[in-house]
Amino acid sequence: MNGQTHLSIGLTVAYLAGCNTPAQYALVAVGSLLPDIDNAGSISRPLQNLLPRIIPRLGIVQTVDQATELTGKLIRKIFGHRGFTHWPVLVGAVWLITAATFPLSKFLALGWLLHIYADALTVNGAPLAAPVSLEKMRLLPKLISFKTGGFMEDLLRWCLWGYLGAMFTRYILFAIGVTI
């Protein structure tokens, strides 16, 4: 799946799970993009597409691109795409190590796991049993799995963005005293 889809899945589940602070949403968003650090632009492009007029002016996109480009190339060269950054056991280990000192790490872990399991819905799958088995597994039969960049992925993404937009609008209307 592409970054925009991962972001929409992460933010929708964060909303449904009751996230209520910008920090929680931000960590879910970062977690939902982090596993694809091995793809050039995979982290910065979704952010740039989400807020195209604001983020480039702040220089965030270029900074993120430069910071992740070398790391991403190295990770991809050694482990390939959907390598160790797509291991659910790694997410659990990182969460266990950081939970005591950084309680918000559970939101990063949530986004990260959502990314991995969303990739397992694609034709190519994800290494869900790694490091025991590096075989990429699919959660859906190949015939009905999502094709990255395909129509069904686009449809899912736009439905999720639409849902989030409707919920945000509802929140704003409620905040100003309009009931629906």
- Amino acid 78: pLDDT: 80
User: What residues form DSSP beta bridges with 146?
Assistant: 122
pTM of the model: 0.84
68 versus 143: which is more confidently predicted?
A: 143
- Band of pLDDT at residue 43, cut at 50, 70 and 90: low
Residue 46 and residue 48: Cα distance in Å, rounded?
A: 5
Kindly state the percentage of the chain with pLDDT values over 70: 83
Closest CA to 19 of 91, 95, 100, 108: 108
